[in-house]
Amino acid sequence: MTSAPHPSAKADILVVDDQPDNIRLLSTLLIEQGYKVRKATNGEMALNAIDIRLPDLILLDINMPNLNGYEVCTSLKANPKTSHIPVIFLSALDDSLDKVRAFQVGGSDYVSKPFQVEEVLARLENHLTIQRQRQQLCEQNKRLQQEIETRQQTEEILYQSRALLASVLNSSLDGVGAAQSVRDRLGEIADFRCLVVNPVAARLVGQRREDLTGKLLLRSLLEKVDSALFPSLTNVVETGQVLERELYHVYEGIETWFQLVSVKLGDGFAVTFRDITRQKQSEMELQMANLELQRLANLDGLTQLANRRRFDAYLDQEWRRLRREQLPLSLIVCDVDYFKAYNDRYGHQAGDDCLKRIAQALTATIRRPADLVARYGGEELAIILPNTSEVGAIHVAQQVSAAIAQLQIPHADSSVSAHVTASMGIASLIPSEERSPHSLFAAADQALYAAKQQGRDRYCLASQI
């Protein structure tokens, strides 16, 4: 199995459909856009094609003989070599439960047949862009990790060399110094006399070399750098234990990290200071890259809301917590009314803008830190409300409905309003061992279906169905 990209194409797309006309239409469309296209007319053929070469994205029909699209996707997501490949389902099945199942088995998106050319291209390019960004972050992560490991290996070699030559203080790359103990009448170390120091070490304490050599100034200077430095160096002399520690220092506005190593030398010590600022910067860059990768993995690229992955994880987390505490958990599932008609009239860019504005309105409305607003799929949004009763969830649903109404987004093809509206299903219960988070979602989804059946632009309660 290889993942080498086609040399002259933007991306390698595998189209899987048992209808030749659909394959022909999609293949022609994608090839015209510069994509490399491979075709499969059933699930077994698709898995064989993927095993030969990994595609960048898969357009997958659901209803196929022998091995349907759900089974193909489940197989891909169970394989670590193929689990990262985005799968966009293409199906004439337009029921919300079909969509839910598509996302449950690992689908990245869902396009209903008959599909719009612009929609397919937009969704395909969106997921390819996300995939490329994730790959770039992973590659950057690996490069940073390799750089840190290389530097650590180099530093270990340098450290071993200095351990063998601990009495030779002539390094020009690191700060180097040596000092002799000055004891009081009781034999206690009262200060240190500087024997030798190089420019780097002198700069660390903010002095010139000639002002340090032979002088009894070290105690006060060391305490200015770090209050624990003098007693630590005293311990090196008295016990013979090697001192190794990192030291942060600011001199003339320049922030620097040092790796300090000190060993006993006669009745004194030798010390080296190695600048590890670049290593620290690399560690910070690696940490930031990991945080960004984590953010992308939990965020919907269009709306900037939590994505389905984050929604599922958080719902499970709060379910377990509130099951222990025996407190209510409420869920609101929200669907934009006649959104397909909105896209057909105003275009998919306007549809994306509509979803963004609604997402912003919900984010501004749902303010409790524990609440979570997520894009579950397409035009479907979900709101997790921990420690919230049905009455509280109704209040939130009313706020959401009012916030969407205040947007005044025109919708000429809506049968219920001149502006964009939403239908909502509300479910609330106290989690128990006998139930699961899926049961809460299923109840809210059933209530959403009831709201649509009753005319849309309203909410329905699962408890009243």
In what helix (H) or strand (E) does residue 392 lie, and over which residues does it extend? helix 390-407
Distance in angstroms (rounded) separating the CA atoms of residues 336 and 348: 14
Contact 331, 341 (CB under 8 A): no
pLDDT for 7 beyond 50: no
User: What pLDDT does 173 receive?
Assistant: 64
* Final residue before a domain boundary, out of 64, 91, 115: 115
> Are residue 108 and residue 155 in the same domain, yes or no?
no
pLDDT digits (tens, 9 = 90+) for 169-181: 444 567 888 899 9
- Please report whether residue 125 resides in a domain: no
Q: Is 392 exposed, middle or buried (0-12, 13-18, 19+ CB in 10 A)?
A: middle
Q: Do residues 156 and 98 both lie within one domain?
A: no
CA distance 430 to 50: 44
Distance of alpha carbon 176 from the chain centroid: 43
Flag whether 2 is in a domain. no
Q: How many CB atoms lie within 10 A of CB 77?
A: 16
Sheet holding 459-461, edge to edge: 372-377, 380-386, 329-336, 422-429, 459-461
Listed in sequence order, the residues at least 6 apart from 374 whose beta carbon sits closer than 8 Å to its beta carbon are 300, 305, 306, 307, 308, 310, 311, 314, 381, 382, 383, 384
Q: What are phi and psi of 15, to 5 degrees?
A: -105, 120
Q: Are residues 276 and 305 in the same domain?
A: no
Predicted confidence (pLDDT) per residue in 149-199, tens digit: 777 766 775 566 445 543 444 445 678 888 999 999 999 999 999 888 887
Contacts of 408 (CB under 8 A, 6+ apart): 419
Spell out the alpha helix ranges (H) of 206-249.
218-225, 229-239
**Run of H or E residues at 278:** helix 277-297
Report yes or no on 140 lying in a domain: no
Residue 57 has pLDDT above 60, yes or no: yes
Give residue 272's Cα distance to chain centre.
40
The answer to whether residue 4 sits within a structural domain is no
Are 306 and 436 within one domain?
yes
- Give the β-pairing of 87-91 and 109-112: parallel
388 and 440 together in one domain: yes
So what's the pLDDT on residue 1? Answer: 55
CATH value at residue 91: 3.40.50.2300
In a domain, 135, yes or no: no
Token look-up 């070599």 returns 81
Share of the chain above pLDDT 90, in %: 53
Do residues 271 and 318 both lie within one domain? no
Amino acid at 182: V
272 domain residue, yes or no:
yes
Paired tokens of 306: 């939590």
d(C-alpha 207, C-alpha 230), whole Å: 17
Cα–Cα distance measured from residue 98 to residue 268, given in angstroms and rounded to the nearest whole number: 77
Domain boundary among 115, 130, 161: 115
Assign residue 413 the CATH number of its domain.
3.30.70.270
CA distance 48 to 45: 5
Q: What is the DSSP string of 138-171?
A: HHHHHHHHHHHHHHHHHHHHHHHHHHHTTT----
- Are 182 and 101 found together in one domain? no
- Looking at the whole model, is its pTM more than 0.75? no
- Same domain for 162 and 188? yes
137 part of a folded domain:
no
Same domain, 311 and 453: yes
- Same domain flag for 451 and 311: yes
**pLDDT average, residue stretch 216-228:** 79
Mean model confidence pLDDT for the chain:
87
- What percent of the chain clears pLDDT 70, i.e. is strictly above it? 92
Q: How far is CA 33 from CA 11, 30, 40, 128, in A?
A: 10, 5, 20, 14
Residue range 267-320, pLDDT digits in tens: 999 888 888 888 888 888 888 877 767 767 788 889 999 999 899 999 999 999
- pLDDT interval class at 250 (50, 70, 90): confident
Query: Are residues 159 and 99 located together in one domain of the fold?
Result: no
| Domain-terminating residue out of 115, 140, 158 | 115
Residue 287 included in any domain:
no
- Given a contact cutoff of 8 angstroms between Cβ atoms, the answer to whether 166 and 186 are in contact is no
C-alpha 140/C-alpha 136 separation (Å) is 6
443 lies in the same domain as 302: yes
DSSP state of 55: -
- Number of domains making up the chain: 3
pLDDT confidence of residue 8: 40
Query: Could you count the other beta carbons within 10 Å of the beta carbon of residue 191?
Result: 19
Domain with 438, as residue range(s), is 298-464
